[in-house]
Amino acid sequence: MLTLGVIGCGYWGPNLVRNFYSQPDTRVTKVADLSRERLQHMETLFPALETTQDHRELIEDPGLDAIVISTPVTTHYKLAKEALEAGKHVFLEKPLTHNAAESLELVKLAEAKGLVGMVGHTFLYSPAVMKIKELVDAGELGEVQYISTIRVNLGLFQDDINVVWDLAPHDISIFNFIFGSVPDRVNAVGHDYIQPEIEDVAFLTFRYPKGKLAHVHVSWLDPNKIRKTTVVGSKKMLVYDDVSTLEKIRVYDKGVDVHRHYDTFGEFHLAYRFGDISIPKLADGEPLKAETAHFLDCIRKGTPCRSSFLHGHQVVVALEHACRSMGDSGGETAIDYGL
């Protein structure tokens, strides 16, 4: 039996409580939130829960094996550090922290204490992203050349972080997972159209090893909700539309074959291929259920986390460098992970 406490019961926290609640041999006994109103809401949803406005009551409770944190990003470092120092395994919502020095410290602290540290990069547990990874690793698309994503909507405007910190953690986490590597360089441009000094639209380009590129457009200022990822491989191309309910992934047997034209030296002949379009069947299941099960599994079996604190740190570093480039009019910057 693993016993958990959850800090932060705003918009996202109740989803985590519900999913951890439904896992076998697992109990959620306590939740903390600064807001009395949110705690009353939790008491209505889960009458057996103990509630408190003081998170230290959870961290100091010897009966809790792990702490789940779903508070605003600027509070993550302090809460996670306290929990790790008290010997608790930690599940922390994304992004891991709001700066790389703090995320690196958490990576090292969890490692030194031999505790599981996992970040809620939910997409790594979604059937669609798992299927893309499976297809890429099986060589179905050939060599992946570049990935391009659009994650835009009207709102929800945040007042403590910009759109890059709000939305791009998902994309960078997906890029790193699919490529199986981390970016070397980034350049980014963005603008603050609505709230001063909080960028609401941004375009980021990452360079990965072996000439691979990844681009993400994030915005809170767009008429449509679009969540689209295009993965271009040397053999096939794939489009993942997360908003679609029935056909999230389409694999296009399309591409360009390059033949050297020997009559006229140096000329190339391009042959376009237009083949079948296939729609792979995806596994059923809620990503959060898989994600919460994975955390418990890592604690029980001592196995590595797919979205470990190290993965979370690599995302934070990439975000920080992207914002540095935005502040430098889009100049390309080398990414230093400090490892």
Ligand X SMILES: NC(=O)c1ccc[n+]([C@@H]2O[C@H](COP(=O)([O-])OP(=O)(O)OC[C@H]3O[C@@H](n4cnc5c(N)ncnc54)[C@H](O)[C@@H]3O)[C@@H](O)[C@H]2O)c1
- Cis peptide leading into residue 156 (ω within 30°): yes
Q: Is 82 in the site for ligand X (CB under 6 A)?
A: no
Q: Is 75 in the site for ligand X (CB under 6 A)?
A: yes
Q: Is 245 left (phi over 0), alpha (psi -120 to 50) or beta?
A: alpha
The nearest distance, CB 149 to ligand X, in angstroms, is 15
Task: Compute the 3-state secondary structure of the chain and give helix, strand, coil in percent, each to the nearest 5.
Answer: 35, 30, 35
CA Rg value for the chain: 22
By CB under 6 A, how many residues form the interface with ligand X? 22
Contact set for ligand X, span 235-294 (CB under 6 A) = none
Q: Is 93 in the site for ligand X (CB under 6 A)?
A: yes
Q: Which of 71, 162, 176, 229 binds ligand X (CB under 6 A)?
A: 71
Stretch that binds ligand X, among 26-34, 83-91, 250-258, 321-329 (CB under 6 A): 26-34
Stretch that binds ligand X, among 2-10, 134-142, 186-194, 265-273 (CB under 6 A): 2-10
Using DSSP's 3-state secondary structure scheme, residue 251 falls into strand
Q: Is 55 in the site for ligand X (CB under 6 A)?
A: yes
At 107, which helix (H) or strand (E)? Answer: helix 100-113
The nearest distance, CB 61 to ligand X, in angstroms, is 15
- The nearer residue to ligand X, 11 or 269, going by C-beta atoms, is 11
Q: Is 312 in the site for ligand X (CB under 6 A)?
A: no
- The nearer residue to ligand X, 94 or 248, going by C-beta atoms, is 94
Range 21-27, long-range pairs (CB < 8 A, 24+ positions): 21/46, 22/289, 23/292, 23/293, 23/296, 25/1, 26/1, 26/2, 26/296, 27/1, 27/2, 27/3
**φ and ψ at 261, to 5 degrees?**
-95, 105
The nearest distance, CB 72 to ligand X, in angstroms, is 5
Q: How far is CA 287 from the centre of its chain?
A: 12
Q: Is 102 in the site for ligand X (CB under 6 A)?
A: no
**Which residues here bind ligand X, judged by CB under 6 A?**
7-13, 32-35, 38, 55, 70-73, 75, 93-94, 120, 122
